[in-house]
Amino acid sequence: MAISPFCIVTTVSSKGLEALLENGDAGAYRDAHPWLAAAELFDRERAEGRTMPIVFASGSPLALAYWAAIERIDVAALHRAAWESRCSFKGLAAMHPIWTALDSLMLKPGDDQLRRESLEPIARLRHPLDERHTRPYAICETPAFMLAKKEGAEVKGDPARDA
DSSP 152: T
Residue 123's pLDDT is: 85
What is the tens place of the pLDDT at every residue in 15-57?
Answer: 999 998 998 889 999 999 999 999 999 999 999 999 999 999 9
Which pLDDT band, with edges at 50, 70 and 90, does 155 fall under? very low
pLDDT at 120 over 80: yes
pLDDT at 162 over 70: no
Question: What sections of the chain are H helices per DSSP?
Answer: 14-22, 36-47, 111-119, 144-147, 159-162
Residue 92's pLDDT is: 95
Residue 159's pLDDT is: 41
Q: Mean pLDDT over residues 87-106, rounded?
A: 94
Q: Which of 106, 112, 30, 116 lies closest to 74, judged by CA? A: 30
Residue 85's pLDDT is: 96
CA distance 18 to 20: 5
When the pLDDT of each residue in the chain is averaged and rounded to a whole number, the result is 89
Task: Please state whether beta strands 82-94 and 2-3 pair in parallel, antiparallel, or not at all (unpaired).
Answer: unpaired
Alpha-carbon distances of 138 from 11, 146, 163, rounded to whole Å: 10, 17, 29
Q: Mean pLDDT over residues 89-100, rounded?
A: 94
- Residues 154, 30, 110, 1, CA torsion sign: positive
Which pLDDT band, with edges at 50, 70 and 90, does 148 fall under? confident
**106, 110, 6, 17: CA torsion to nearest 10:** 60
Structural domains of the chain, ranges and CATH numbers in brackets: 2-162 (3.10.590)
CA distance 25 to 71: 12
Q: Which of 26, 30, 16 lies closest to 73, judged by CA? A: 30
pLDDT at 160 over 90: no
